[in-house]
Structure 1
Amino acid sequence: MPSVEPGSDKSASSPKAGTADNISAAERELYGGRLRYDQSSSSSTAIRRTVEKYLGRHPGEREALAGLLAALDRPVDATARTTLPGQITCSAVIVDRQGRVLHLRHRVTGEFVLMPGVRIAPEDRTLLAAALRATVEEAGIAPNALCLTRQLLGSPIDIGVHDEAAHPPIGEPAHRHYDIRYVFYLADEELPTIARPDEEGSAAQWLPQAEVASPTLRAKLLAARLDGQPEPVNASVLIYDATGRYLLHLRDHKPGVVWASGEFALLGGGRTHDDQSLEGALMRELSEEVPDLRLEDVTPYAVEAATSIDGLSVPVQVFSGRWRGTDRLRLYEGVLLHWFTLDDLDRLRLDAATRDLIHRHAAENPPGIAPDAAPPVWDGSNKAVLNGIGVHLHLEDPEGRVLLGLRHPDSKYAGDTWHYPAGRCEQEPALACLVREVMEETGLVIDPADVELAHVAHVVDAAGVLPLMQLVFKARRWEGVPKVLEPDKCLTWKWWPQHALPERIVPYTRTAIAAISEGRHYSQLGW
């Protein structure tokens, strides 16, 4: 399957495997990133974190959950059956394609009620896993028949509070249940068969959300606008180059903890509540995992089905994007990255669905046919490679201040950073490119006769990126006032004193400004 996984707070520490709190970072793995949802482990500390996040969304319920918070603060196992006067359970709220909620017939009263919760067991990796166990034990619904929702991801929708009567046969007095509820959609259109071995006849009803008896849950369901239609909350990317190779990620070897442990997979990750889109989630994950990777032409390719480490059905949005660089990149998750040809795939520990996906993409995108096919990859050796040519305008006003533009935060290069008016040479002379780029970006008119070459910076921006020869020209005269003509690339133009340049400035731009003032004509950076 495509390698994507819902992620985790990367600022969190990584506890030792095997401890009660070990469901963080790599432990919350599903596919290729790390689990950011509130799928905390079942220790009191982790449950407390989940409850506090929940109260951050619903602060008005703190008083109602005071007893739960007090129980979690006591130096005992809050999940034990003997922990009274309150006990913690987990349950599932299942929504079908018509937006209806599953109700089960109560074994005693015969009324149709929400699915009962189950007490957390030692084998439950997470609270969400306990809720999934409830779907199996209470309704015979396997986790692979369910999927997460975009609105809630893996966060609980509600914490119900209700009183339980005493059970004298087992010596259990009256007590209170705190039920942590998770929402799931049906992965398929067909309603599942409800299997309750101790009952005959119909044991289930699907009721509209407005008829859910719990007032707190009913209000949250309606507010979340849960329509029951599954959609991807995970994203991965097929990274390929002009020669037909694919970049694959070797995952950490943590059997039972990491999905596809020790296998090659696609890079990617899970959407968080802060991500505005799946593509945004993917780009955030890549920036955190492989910060030097700059993809081109990122486009949606396919939606693939996968299965999470808890058995959930996971629809994954697969993107495709080209990378012209090396595979020797800084990697903050997993073991390594490596380019592979199609002939290599059968030799790898690679999920069959991922292998088929790559072959399908390769058949639709054969190498060497793109008119803008990538140049050879530079691997850091001394062999001959193409060098790109960039042009830049060094412009000084009568006070000696230099013109710089603040690049848009979403710019592919140097976002939220100050830089010269600049551009990359196409099929044209460098001076013609300079005149064109300056006019397009600023509206300034310059005559090539008024321009001279002031500095050359030979730059390697990042490991594996092809070198660039950055030509900095100085104009003696110009016409017009700088204007923002490409707001998607530049936010503003400003004249800066050369002794007080902004802190966030492209490094070779700063170098060039200093060199020009000192009369130096050449510099090199990144080699």
Structure 2
Amino acid sequence: MISSDEPSGTAALLVDSRGRYLLHLRDANKNICDPGTWSIPGGGREGTESSREAVERELREETGLAVPLEEFAVVDCLGPDGRTEGRIRVYLGAWDGDANELPCPEGIMFRHFDTATIPYLTMCPWTKEVIDLHQAQAQPPVRPLAPGPARPGGRGRMNLVGVHLYLEQDGKVLLGLRHPDSAFAASTHHFLAGHCEQESAVACLVREAAEEAGLAIDPADVELAHVVHVVDRPGGQPRMQLVFRARRWTGTPEVREPDRCVSWGWWPAEGLPGAIVPYTRAAIEGIRAGRLYTELGWT
């Protein structure tokens, strides 16, 4: 059993070899803690999780990373109402990868910032406290876990799993136009999609369909339609993109997350928009050709 004195929140302070901090821009205009501020990845413990189990899970779900972590500090925080007090156990780690390549299933984006820039950011108060503490203690750099190139047959970078919804109606495919400020595929058409969290791929699909577009889908009506194994460049973050077809659904697509998607539309399969995510186009072409699998970007 986990002690009731153990902080309910966890977070990971990741520093690269240049002394920069990996920060996460939180959603604004939502009922969450410290909306619209730069913070560090983390979240609350679930069930009987220890703090270490929780921070490793949250880091994996939010960034796809699994890096060595050591206990660093415990800080106070406030809940979404700005009054409820809580505590967060913070862990310290190191990572030298490209923040632009990280998935962002929650919030807006990840970026690295040096200490000269941080005072000019709108910071989450307890995150600023953690960084100040790290600076004051003159912590020696933790040896970074460099991403390194993928190695055939070896232990290269872990694959991230994306889940996508293929809906077809009267020969037309449902696509969403992503927000101009989106960290991924800004002003570009894409499937309704999300990253698997602590859930099955089909459960993720059903959840994302409801959250993003107000659609209700029975898992029994879902079937795998295509898989795209994609990498943007050699040595980049590999992604396994699962595309599921829903044979039936209820509801009319509506914009539920306007900070990510500005509109939904039905596009003729033979007349897809020019601004479309490349692997989305490849998946649609593969489905129409009766293929189950496509590779993109691998050499």
Q: TM-score interval w.r.t. the shorter chain?
A: 0.5 to 0.7
Residues 1:426 and 2:201 aligned together: no
Q: 2:162 aligns with which of 376, 390, 393?
A: 390
2:243 maps to 472
Q: Give the Å deviation of 1:427.
A: 1.2
Query: Is the partner of 1:511 in helix, strand or coil?
Result: helix
Provide the C-alpha distance between the structure 2 equivalents of 1:361 and 1:524, rounded to a whole number of angstroms: 48
List runs of 5+ in structure 2 lacking aligned partners.
Answer: 1-12, 21-37, 39-97, 103-108, 124-131
Q: Give the Å deviation of 1:298.
A: 3.9
Contact 1:407 1:415 in 2 (8 A): yes
- CA 1:367–1:526: 2 relative to 1, 3 Å: same
For residues 341-370 of structure 1, the C-alpha deviation after alignment (integer angstroms, 9 at most, x for no partner) is xxxxxxxxxxxxxxxx9x8399579769xx
2:210 maps to 439
Query: Is the partner of 1:454 in helix, strand or coil?
Result: strand
Query: How do 1:228-267 residues align onto structure 2 when only pairs under 5 Å count?
Result: 242=14, 244-247=15-18
For residues 426-484 of structure 1, the C-alpha deviation after alignment (integer angstroms, 9 at most, x for no partner) is 11110000100111100000011001001000011245432111000001000000000
For residues 317-351 of structure 1, the C-alpha deviation after alignment (integer angstroms, 9 at most, x for no partner) is 5899xxxxxxxxxxxxxxxxxxxxxxxxxxxxxxx
The structure where strand makes up a greater share of residues is: 2
1:380 maps to 150
Provide the C-alpha distance between the structure 1 equivalents of 2:141 and 2:215, rounded to a whole number of angstroms: 43
Query: How do 1:242-321 residues align onto structure 2 when only pairs under 5 Å count?
Result: 242=14, 244-247=15-18, 293-294=100-101, 297-298=110-111, 302-303=115-116, 317=120
Provide the C-alpha distance between the structure 2 equivalents of 1:467 and 1:408, rounded to a whole number of angstroms: 24
Residues 1:512 and 2:283 aligned together: yes
- CA 1:415–1:463: 2 relative to 1, 3 Å: farther
- CA 1:427–1:292: 2 relative to 1, 3 Å: closer
Q: Give the Å deviation of 1:380.
A: 2.9
What one-letter code is carried by the residue in structure 2 that aligns with 1:392?
Answer: H
- CA 1:377–1:494: 2 relative to 1, 3 Å: same
Residues 1:360 and 2:140 aligned together: no
Query: Is the partner of 1:246 in helix, strand or coil?
Result: coil
Query: Is the partner of 1:482 in helix, strand or coil?
Result: coil
- CA 1:494–1:402: 2 relative to 1, 3 Å: same
Provide the C-alpha distance between the structure 2 equivalents of 1:461 and 1:378, rounded to a whole number of angstroms: 15
Contact 1:409 1:416 in 2 (8 A): yes
What one-letter code is carried by the residue in structure 2 that aligns with 1:377?
Answer: P
Query: Is the partner of 1:406 in helix, strand or coil?
Result: strand
1:403 maps to 174
What one-letter code is carried by the residue in structure 1 that aligns with 2:277?
Answer: V
Provide the C-alpha distance between the structure 2 equivalents of 1:484 and 1:362, rounded to a whole number of angstroms: 46
Provide the C-alpha distance between the structure 2 equivalents of 1:404 and 1:447, rounded to a whole number of angstroms: 20
Query: Is the partner of 2:288 in helix, strand or coil?
Result: helix
Query: Is the partner of 1:473 in helix, strand or coil?
Result: strand
- CA 1:293–1:477: 2 relative to 1, 3 Å: closer
Query: Is the partner of 2:251 in helix, strand or coil?
Result: coil
Q: 1:484 aligns with which of 255, 277, 283?
A: 255
- CA 1:316–1:475: 2 relative to 1, 3 Å: closer
- CA 1:440–1:316: 2 relative to 1, 3 Å: closer
For residues 100-157 of structure 1, the C-alpha deviation after alignment (integer angstroms, 9 at most, x for no partner) is xxxxxxxxxxxxxxxxxxxxxxxxxxxxxxxxxxxxxxxxxxxxxxxxxxxxxxxxxx
Provide the C-alpha distance between the structure 2 equivalents of 1:381 and 1:505, rounded to a whole number of angstroms: 30
- CA 1:501–1:379: 2 relative to 1, 3 Å: same
Provide the C-alpha distance between the structure 2 equivalents of 1:460 and 1:298, rounded to a whole number of angstroms: 20
Q: Give the Å deviation of 1:245.
A: 3.2
Q: Rg: which structure is higher?
A: 1
Contact 1:459 1:468 in 2 (8 A): yes
- Select the structure with the greater relative contact order (CA < 8 A; seq sep ≥ 6): 2
Provide the C-alpha distance between the structure 2 equivalents of 1:513 and 1:318, rounded to a whole number of angstroms: 41
What one-letter code is carried by the residue in structure 1 that aligns with 2:255?
Answer: V
Provide the C-alpha distance between the structure 2 equivalents of 1:445 and 1:318, rounded to a whole number of angstroms: 39
2:90 maps to none
Q: Give the Å deviation of 1:376.
A: 6.9
1:417 maps to 188
Query: Is the partner of 1:439 in helix, strand or coil?
Result: helix
Residues 1:456 and 2:249 aligned together: no
Residues 1:502 and 2:273 aligned together: yes
- CA 1:365–1:406: 2 relative to 1, 3 Å: farther
Output the TM-score relative to the length of structure 2.
Answer: 0.56
Provide the C-alpha distance between the structure 1 equivalents of 2:135 and 2:249, rounded to a whole number of angstroms: 53
1:522 maps to 293
Q: Give the Å deviation of 1:294.
A: 4.7
What one-letter code is carried by the residue in structure 2 that aligns with 1:439?
Answer: A
What one-letter code is carried by the residue in structure 1 that aligns with 2:266?
Answer: W
Provide the C-alpha distance between the structure 2 equivalents of 1:467 and 1:518, rounded to a whole number of angstroms: 24
Output the TM-score relative to the length of structure 1.
Answer: 0.33
What one-letter code is carried by the residue in structure 1 that aligns with 2:258?
Answer: P
For residues 161-213 of structure 1, the C-alpha deviation after alignment (integer angstroms, 9 at most, x for no partner) is xxxxxxxxxxxxxxxxxxxxxxxxxxxxxxxxxxxxxxxxxxxxxxxxxxxxx
Contact 1:390 1:425 in 2 (8 A): yes
- CA 1:417–1:450: 2 relative to 1, 3 Å: same
RMSD: 3.8
- CA 1:318–1:405: 2 relative to 1, 3 Å: closer
